[in-house]
Chains A and B, each alone.
Chain A
């Protein structure tokens, strides 16, 4: 654990010197925070029409108000809570992954390109420790960014949405989404990126591959939720979290096997 902690501390120290790497993630976070407000607050305000006046949200209102926590909400508040809560999936997924993907994609191939990998491989560090440190080092800033975005999001909902809507962002379901499923999904994506980073010669390839693998399911989940194809319950989130845990363990094992020191040292130029 000491070796992993040492390497994670190094990753974070390097990132502190390159804050610009998080600019895309900050922009993504801002966009992810902003867009549900456009749907739930801004458009109705300028259109002079309440969401609850439209029959389009009838099903959402019914679905949402069936939850015990939502019973005290007005019809408008229920629709807002529906939109804000389901937008969480995208915000959690995108901010965590975009915040960390560049770091993860750069992790192994970047070290190789900077010629810092070989001295590291010459230490007692095992492949598992190296890859775990790379994944954790990439995930921590993304998770921190996601928590910051979530805090701003909840604050903004409290300020601009109907009374009580913000409390719906703090239900066990939402919190499990933010603090369990989000980080686990991010870890999975980052592991894929680190894995790709140890197999490709160019960080951009790893980044594109990792982003593609993780962003597509997140977007699909988001769309499925909005059209009512999937309703993520707390139980489903926990189930997905268990699957993600198992997936992370399997992926780490595969990543360790795929990490070919000889090839990295001798064939990569």
Chain B
């Protein structure tokens, strides 16, 4: 983990970029009437995530030989473009859904490209998964990404509320910390950056009337979280349990909308409940990762942590 001042500055800058971009987009699009949903959220989150990663030195390299490079160069811009297209009134809704599903289905394959899981990198027959296993795992990952993306877009349309991006910010921040504690420090920073971008855009949305429609933020947030957890699980030491807890936590936002008694609550109470529900699995994942980190790293002694080492600069 880098210097806390540096990371704090980068996250503050990320939030500011997201907020400024959202305000700018809303001003430019106001009254245009050419869109069915606001693309402002997607257009603010994309550049903010890129800027935050850049400031934290998580920069894409070309050729994109590593998973995070491929996410920042290919996937993130693709998701932003899909969400902008999906927000346009003239763009067929079925095509927007098809693009979302294709993107969700292909993301894992892109991120795992040319790794020991899928390719014989250490000699003939050395890939860790057989062809059948690869198909099953990639299909499972594709299904998971699609379900969460679709479910949260539907929820945002059904009951628009800023609590959904706030809940996603919470799970992204938790995922960032968990991935860091799971042995992949720079990868985990992506989660913190996403959390900061979502927080910045959410705060800015309060300043503008009609900015609660965060539909276009869902794709960016869900797929960035998906990429973060995938790299943490398959390139770091993130456990499958923690990855599942963090990724599916957002689905708990549906509960207050579905439960008969709770759904009659006011939007603020319901939104607060949504965020609190998401906080539970996120807290469990972070605590589990912290416990494992302490066991693996210092065996309970008072030795310096990995943050101490990485934060040290003469």
The answer to whether A and B belong to the same complex is: no
Interface residues of chain A, those whose CB is within 8 Å of chain B, are none
Question: Which B residues lie at the A interface, using CB under 8 A?
Answer: none
